[in-house]
């Protein structure tokens, strides 16, 4: 019995030395110095000169690294449209399409959307694995699925839906709608 115990002790010690040696031979890993920094490129999005963009509603990225930007046309005033910019001279300014698609370099690839169909106060978007764009306008009561080219494929909910009044501090949180499209195709609203 003593011989088995002696053998187990020697074997356990050898295993411990092998593990310790393997750990000491691993390449040393160091944390990156500092936190990564990002720089805003104010001129990344290349838009037609006469387009006016309202407040940002949502941003989502598709499989080809194309960035979809939703802007809120209802945030644009008439004064913003008729104001002349020192760079564009006398060009007539128009509202940009509510949905704009950019490539990774910021080139405008496609734009689409009818503000009357999309609804006001665009809030969230997601791109599914087929390239369809899901959009949730806050304060609307519905979520819409569009083809990559901007054709309405599906609407969940009704535009006549209204949210009951709440206490002022909770009203904003209740009106936001979020979409999550999972890789298996399941949509959470």
Q: Pick the more confident residue, 117 or 111.
A: 111
User: Which domain range does residue 153 map to?
Assistant: 51-188
The per-residue pLDDT for range 174-184, each reduced to its tens digit, is: 455 556 666 66
User: What pLDDT band is residue 51 in, cutting at 50, 70 and 90?
Assistant: confident
pLDDT of residue 29: 58
Q: Tell me whether residue 38 is in a domain.
A: no
CATH, residue 71:
2.120.10.30
Q: Tell me whether residue 33 is in a domain.
A: no
Secondary structure tally for the chain: helices H, strands E? 4, 12
Q: Tell me whether residue 14 is in a domain.
A: no
Give how many domains the chain has, as a whole number: 1
pLDDT exceeds 80 at position 50: yes
Q: Tell me whether residue 146 is in a domain.
A: yes
The per-residue pLDDT for range 129-169, each reduced to its tens digit, is: 889 998 888 777 788 899 989 999 988 877 655 555 555 54
pLDDT of residue 12: 53
pLDDT of residue 170: 46
pTM listed for this prediction = 0.66
Per the rule left: phi > 0, alpha: psi between -120 and 50, beta: everything else, 185 is left
Whether the CB-CB separation of 69 and 54 falls below 8 Å is answered with no
Q: Tell me whether residue 118 is in a domain.
A: yes
The pLDDT mean for the chain works out to 75
Question: What are the phi and psi torsion angles at 46 (to 5°)?
Answer: -100, 105
Q: Tell me whether residue 7 is in a domain.
A: no
Which residue do the tokens 């949180």 mark? 173
The per-residue pLDDT for range 19-46, each reduced to its tens digit, is: 555 555 556 556 667 888 888 888 899 9
Q: Tell me whether residue 129 is in a domain.
A: yes
pLDDT of residue 72: 83
Q: If you ran DSSP here, which 8-state letter would residue 88 be given?
A: T
User: What pLDDT band is residue 172 in, cutting at 50, 70 and 90?
Assistant: very low
Alpha-carbon distance of 152 to 177, in angstroms, equals: 19
The per-residue pLDDT for range 64-114, each reduced to its tens digit, is: 899 999 888 887 777 777 765 555 566 678 888 899 999 999 999 999 988
């Amino acid at each position: 019995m003593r011989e088995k115990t002696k053998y187990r002790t020697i074997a356990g010690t050898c295993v411990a030395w092998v593990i310790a040696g393997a750990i000491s031979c691993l390449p040393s890993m160091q944390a990156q110095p500092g936190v990564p920094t990002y720089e805003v490129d104010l001129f990344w999005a290349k838009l037609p000169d006469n387009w006016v963009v309202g407040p940002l509603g949502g941003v989502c990225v598709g499989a080809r690294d194309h960035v979809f930007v939703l802007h809120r046309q209802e945030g644009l005033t008439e004064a913003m449209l008729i104001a002349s910019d020192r760079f564009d001279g006398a060009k007539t300014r128009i509202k940009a399409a509510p949905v704009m698609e950019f490539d990774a370099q910021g080139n405008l690839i496609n734009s689409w959307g009818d503000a009357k169909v999309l609804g006001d106060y665009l809030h969230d978007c997601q791109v599914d694995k087929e390239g369809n764009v899901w959009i949730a306008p806050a304060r609307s009561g519905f979520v819409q699925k569009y083809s990559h080219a901007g054709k309405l494929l599906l609407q969940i909910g009704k535009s006549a839906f209204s949210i009951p009044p709440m206490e002022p501090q909770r009203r904003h949180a209740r009106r936001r709608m979020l979409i999550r499209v999972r890789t298996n195709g399941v949509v959470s609203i």
